[in-house]
Structure 1
């Protein structure tokens, strides 16, 4: 089955009067992976311990384990901190944000542009927060 793009799905949704039929016909196209599952998948590709990840993310180990287990839902900023700490790419981060139900980093938003630049250049959290502060933007963690 070919993957439908978002525009196609929206078009079908607008044209379909029967919600049940739309949901049934497009079940294979819905996002089904949870945030903890995506974090686990991403984490498994990174050569870092969870204690080091917590430190690099500026969060406690307890909180990090709760996020990975699904007992806590991180805010957008906390999720970004985890991505920075993990050394995630911009694409990996955008996917996590989308899956978590948060807005992706938007280059027309000054703060988001600074964060995206940090991800693209693999800047650590301390330096990224300094960059945000020097531009009068709120730090991540």
Structure 2
């Protein structure tokens, strides 16, 4: 079983050198592309891609490009929309954001706290946008994008 992030942090803290740490722990490093991680999540959660794309409220072609690996670093809001559509946990979303090359959620940021709450409560993209709007925060998608 792979080491947890905390175990890796502890091993790194105790390591006498970085080279040995990297060699000793290479099997525990996750090296997915964004598309690979999305497909892993689809399989793990038994989700259907077309349902996720629909529920994300993203432009259909754009979302499929993310899944196909053609969009390697999509906008953070689009990644969060996919996470909401997939009903990911906040922790799974953090990994998704990492693989997308996007800034992870930071709960000291009010907007990110709202997003974290939405993820924990399995809210839809539309309901999350309404809550963001109600709290005077920027929504995930523009109104035109939501309707396409």
Shorter-chain TM band: 0.7 to 0.9
CA distance in 1, matches of 2:21, 2:54: 45
Number of residue pairs matched? Answer: 137
User: Are 1:97 and 2:97 counterparts?
Assistant: yes
Alignment of 1:56-75 (within 5 A): 56-73=55-72, 74-75=74-75
| Residue in 1 that maps onto 2:39 | 40
Question: Scaled by the length of structure 1, what TM-score is found?
Answer: 0.81
| Residue in 2 that maps onto 1:31 | 30
Q: CA RMSD in A?
A: 2.3
User: Are 1:9 and 2:12 counterparts?
Assistant: yes
Alignment of 1:116-131 (within 5 A): 116-131=116-131
| Residue in 2 that maps onto 1:52 | 51
8 Å CA contact retained: 2:12, 2:21: no
Q: Which runs of 5+ in 1 are unaligned?
A: none
- Give 1:26 deviation, angstroms: 4.0
1:95 alignment partner, SS class: helix
